[in-house]
Structure 1
């Protein structure tokens, strides 16, 4: 059974979004640590 192209694109977009969220979470954690150290 072939996967619908639109569904495939959605899955790829979701993976990209998940990656971006991970990066943002990491950046926020680093900023928080820097603020706490001051």
Structure 2
């Protein structure tokens, strides 16, 4: 039970990291589009 809980937390952290990376990529793309 404890192991699955920590694994679930690990998966959530990975998903959060991926979401933040996508958000950052979108922000950078928008900035480049505005400068072009």
| Same fold by TM-score greater than 0.5 | yes
Where do 5+ consecutive residues of structure 2 fail to align?
Answer: none
Where do 5+ consecutive residues of structure 1 fail to align?
Answer: none
Q: TM-score, normalised by structure 1?
A: 0.75
The 4+ residue runs of structure 1 with deviation greater than 3 A are none
Count of aligned residue pairs for this structure pair: 34
Q: TM-score, normalised by structure 2?
A: 0.78
Q: CA RMSD in A?
A: 1.5
| Superposition deviation, residue 7 in structure 1 | 1.2
In proportion to residue count, which structure has more helix? 2
